[in-house]
Structure 1
Amino acid sequence: MADARHCALAGALITAHHHGEAIAFSELGLPDELVAALERGGIERAFPIQAATIENALAGRDVLGKARTGSGKTLAFGLPALARLSQTGRPAPHKPRAIVLVPTRELAMQVNDALEPYAHALHVTLRLIAGGLSMSKQIASLERGVHLVVATPGRLADLMRRGHADLSECSLVVLDEADHMADMGFMPEITEIMGQVPAGGQRLLFSATLDGEVDRITRLYMNDPVLHDVTGGVDEGPSTMTHLVFNTPPNAKYQIATRIAAREGRTIVFVRTKLGCDRIAEQMRQAGVGAVALHGDKTQNERNAAITGFRAGTIPVLVATDVAARGIHVESVDLVLQMDPPADHKDYTHRAGRTARAGKAGLVVTLVLPHQRKQVDALLERAGVDALFRKLGGEDAASLATVDSLTGAQAPSGIPVPEPRGPRSTRPGAGRGRPERTHRPSRGPSDGARRDAPRRDALRDDRGAGRVREDVARRERELADRERQLELRERQLVERETTVRAPRASTTDRSASTKPAWKKPTRATESREDAKPAWKKPTRATESREDAKPAWRKPTRSEGARDASDKPRTGDRDKPRSAAAGGPKAKKPPKVSGRSGKPRPKKKR
């Protein structure tokens, strides 16, 4: 290792700066399988943060790495973690051996993709656990057992509360972008997770700043950590990053921003609000600049498509908010444009970290309105940035020439362009919550892969045909079962209909021997005379009136008339016929009074 400067910090911290030539990975004590996988990907020498931290991490020490975004921190903690996990046995279900906590799911995806080929080389299982992705698949992977989990704090804490994740056997915890997680409000989840990890394990923390909540995490959960500060190293510094501040009038702010975004290369534009993000992206597209908005209200697929297209170069301009952009780790971002100044110096550092990555040159441009000048001056002073200030008069020729000469800006085409879309991935499973993997090291020689390609294609075709045949056979079996069920149902309906329509047997056809002795006859089984009990008196419906007339009943007038008409008569011609016999109606005798016997006088009407 090159010369190192050690000094005591808080009694336990050691600061080391490395100078000179980069160190090869083969000199850092990594397993041969990892070194071979790195060489296959074209990576042979370590960045300063990697050279400084890998040896201490392999030795089991707690490490504090102070480095800006894009300095190679992923391999700095990932390679020693995988090397140590390869020496452990098979993990138990639901009990990961190590966890890596990152602030956003985009960053979690990129860390997982960056470490996967090296985990495969050491036969170490690696799983991604983040919000916005399928929880059932994440639970299934934990049930099978996993060595290393790359997770966001919110989703991991949720799985712990549900009982799907148990950290009782976790011996290694990595906190990447710790200051970002603290700023995003993840401190309660981090405290909950760290409280479930057994004491005495290894802790690796990487951050651009080590104050505030990060300092509290260090004091609570780290044991005698070693600090490696490479913020002044050759990977990122004033020599590779240029800071410009344009004092711009309000009426020319959007026109100048669009002119800068129309330059060649990748550009990230930062704004404060989601509404402003969508509006500025639309205005740039109307001016002829291919810009896409990225903020928290976008769906996961839209965010993945935007980042994938920006990384591939099909989307030249990304208009983003602070929170959404914290997961963007794209190489070769030439310029960061801050249309709205950041809230504090930490946000300025995070925004500027999108460019000048891995020692490459980058430009950070901030547009400041006249009333924001004092605020930005104080912000830059706290951030320790020496910026170049220029005052613009508007859209005059002199101001535009200054902008073009310092930033490479150019006039947009003025022809509206549609919203760019990310390239469609050919990888199976792409577009379902994970971006396409690019710039990843190969797992083996490409010649052998090309030789085996026709064989794999033929095997894939055979498997596809076999699945089609199995599907057709399964459908035929289901149809046959359905037909049998319908046939059985039809027979049951026919039998039921036959039973309902069959004539009922009469009571006269039944033999006396079949009728129980105790059962009384009813109207439906026999005649009324047979069913009439001895004690029941005859009624008009069962017999004639003469038979049913009791002896004590007097004959009525009609009955008497009928009796008289049936008797032989003599001298009927001489006597007047009665009304019953069909003669003229006889006059009624007058009514008499009850006392005097005299006829009652008629009432006058």
Structure 2
Amino acid sequence: MNHPDRLGTSHGNLARPVPLTPAVSPAASFADLELPAEVLRTLTGLGVHKPFPIQAATLPSALAGRDVLGRGRTGSGKTLAFGLPLLARTAGRRAEAKQPLALILVPTRELAQQVSEALAPYADALRLRMATVVGGMSIGRQAAALRDGAEVVVATPGRLHDLIERKACRLERVRITVLDEADQMCDMGFLPQVTAVLDQVHRDGQRMLFSATLDHDVDHLVRRYLHDPVVHSVDPSAGAVTTLDHHVLVVHGPDRYAVTTEIAARDGRVLLFLDTKHAVDQLTRHLRASGVPAAALHSGKSQPQRTRTLAQFKNGQITALVATNVAARGLHVDDLDLVVNVDPPTDPKDYLHRAGRTARAGESGSVVTLVLSGQRRETSRLIAAAGIEPTVTKVRSGEAELSRITGAKTPSGTPLDGGPSAPRAKNTNSPFRGLGTSKDASRGAGGKSRKANEARKLAEARKAARVRRGN
């Protein structure tokens, strides 16, 4: 039986149930936990010696079989916090065809693959079979993996729903269920699929839910499906990370193109966010024509393309990743120290999740948001709603201040894919299509206003009329 009357909610934060059973004390080290010897050896072999705060807090309760409600921003070590107890408590059991024993539900393909890769060494050590079930990949192969038997399934809600509808997967033997990034799954409209999954797993099983926020739909999931959960909120949101610097750079409209190009040409990796797939592709083509090793990531790309692009970004072949919000969660890249909002986000949560791609696991980083003068007030309100007080600076391309904040530099200008080099962006160029939307967007090429264009057209029409009369 759940205890909804014991659950209190504050806006944007995890609810605080009053546990009926006291929480287990945090662990000082992995060795202090009742983890299988195979897992401890694998941790040591991978150089993982000390648990992160959220791991130390949640592992004892999760290993004891308690339901867990955890808060920790991405990059805080959540995957092992739920993954190690899930694997340890599943070890020694064998799944029948189409009937997994444990399920990890995540919102995106990228996060599913990241979770699978992170847990694979420990699953192998325990001789547990894992299957990753996501859209954009062969559903036939995924059905075959389930048919062959997989103890642990990592899935996105939509593809798992499709496999259940095809009778290729049954969930009644699932005794451990994890919802990771639950708030994003609800934001993406997956709540019906998530509740359908939770209605099908073993009624008395263990549930662990991790979410950055608990508002509306996520609160409903907690109240309905978690039994006497232990609550842990040990890691600050992206807005409270002291190693993360936030900057708003006010740019002149026609200069935004050049500023973006110079930032992308910096030494070291950079993740640039834009609003639309078209704008992402257009900027990527320009950057590559300017000599910047750039690649695009958005929902229009196939899963193999997305996987290859992320691998190249992580190994340094690609230094500028241009993306839509598909990369705002579930993307972990070591040593990524700069995120750029070329298009300002439209929601405080989007800002925080984009920002969460850098300054991960105690590292430092910077988030830069480019705005036109007309966007400054609206963007400032949005960032303030995210709990951020950014440093505001007016910049121009080629200036030392831009380089100081972002490491911007002039690109080589040598095209990477053949063809002519991109014309060097100057202050007199028109704004790059897709880089932000503002009242200034009504201005055309060369800085001429709409009124000037209308006056020019009227003059041309009068001239044409005089010519006709003369003929």
Other structure's SS at 1:330 match: coil
Are 1:194 and 2:193 counterparts?
Answer: no
Are 1:225 and 2:211 counterparts?
Answer: no
The corresponding residue for 2:153 is: 149
Shift of 1:293: 1.1
The corresponding residue for 2:393 is: 390
Residues 333, 355 of structure 1: 8 Å contact kept: yes
Could you tell me how far apart the structure 2 residues matched to 1:12 and 1:404 are? 51
The corresponding residue for 2:382 is: 379
The corresponding residue for 2:435 is: none
Are 1:124 and 2:128 counterparts?
Answer: yes
Opposite residue 208 of structure 1, the aligned amino acid is A
Are 1:54 and 2:59 counterparts?
Answer: yes
Shift of 1:240: 1.2
Residues 15, 219 of structure 2: 8 Å contact kept: no
Runs of at least 5 residues in structure 2 that lack an aligned partner in the other structure: 1-13, 419-471
| Cα offsets for 1:380-434 (capped at 9, x unmatched) | 1221112111123x34x6xx21111122222222222229xxxxxxxxxxxxxxx
Residues 75, 361 of structure 2: 8 Å contact kept: yes
The corresponding residue for 2:74 is: 69
Shift of 1:134: 2.1
Other structure's SS at 2:361 match: helix
Shift of 1:11: 3.5
Could you tell me how far apart the structure 2 residues matched to 1:37 and 1:11 are? 36
Runs of at least 5 residues in structure 1 that lack an aligned partner in the other structure: 1-6, 420-605
Residues 328, 350 of structure 2: 8 Å contact kept: no
Opposite residue 332 of structure 1, the aligned amino acid is D
Could you tell me how far apart the structure 2 residues matched to 1:236 and 1:92 are? 45
Opposite residue 99 of structure 2, the aligned amino acid is K
Could you tell me how far apart the structure 2 residues matched to 1:142 and 1:255 are? 50
State the identity %.
Answer: 49
Could you tell me how far apart the structure 2 residues matched to 1:376 and 1:224 are? 40
Residues 17, 229 of structure 2: 8 Å contact kept: no
Opposite residue 52 of structure 1, the aligned amino acid is A
Instruction: Return closer, same or farther for 1:268/1:46 CA change in 2, 3 Å cut-off.
Output: same
Could you tell me how far apart the structure 2 residues matched to 1:8 and 1:302 are? 39
| Cα offsets for 1:266-302 (capped at 9, x unmatched) | 1100000001001111122222211111111112222
Instruction: Return closer, same or farther for 1:15/1:404 CA change in 2, 3 Å cut-off.
Output: farther
Residues 14, 228 of structure 1: 8 Å contact kept: no
Residues 239, 352 of structure 2: 8 Å contact kept: no
Other structure's SS at 1:69 match: coil
| CA-atom RMSD in angstroms | 2.3
Could you tell me how far apart the structure 1 residues matched to 2:370 and 2:200 are? 46
Shift of 1:8: 9.0
The corresponding residue for 2:322 is: 319
Could you tell me how far apart the structure 2 residues matched to 1:180 and 1:94 are? 27
Shift of 1:66: 0.8
Residues 296, 323 of structure 2: 8 Å contact kept: yes
Shift of 1:99: 0.3
Shift of 1:172: 0.9
Q: Superposed, which structure 2 residues align to 1:501-580 within 5 Å?
A: none
The corresponding residue for 1:104 is: 108
The corresponding residue for 1:306 is: 309
Are 1:158 and 2:162 counterparts?
Answer: yes
Length-normalised TM-score, structure 2: 0.81
Higher relative contact order (Cα pairs below 8 Å, separated by 6+ residues): 2
Instruction: Return closer, same or farther for 1:330/1:13 CA change in 2, 3 Å cut-off.
Output: farther
Opposite residue 417 of structure 1, the aligned amino acid is L
Shift of 1:236: 9.2
The corresponding residue for 2:414 is: 415
Other structure's SS at 2:210 match: strand
Shift of 1:203: 0.8
Residues 94, 142 of structure 1: 8 Å contact kept: yes
Other structure's SS at 1:232 match: coil
Could you tell me how far apart the structure 2 residues matched to 1:370 and 1:8 are? 39
The corresponding residue for 1:258 is: 261
Shift of 1:14: 11
Opposite residue 411 of structure 1, the aligned amino acid is T
The corresponding residue for 1:283 is: 286
The corresponding residue for 2:452 is: none
Residues 74, 330 of structure 2: 8 Å contact kept: no
Shift of 1:12: 4.4
Across the two proteins, how many residue pairs are aligned to each other? Answer: 404
Could you tell me how far apart the structure 2 residues matched to 1:378 and 1:212 are? 23
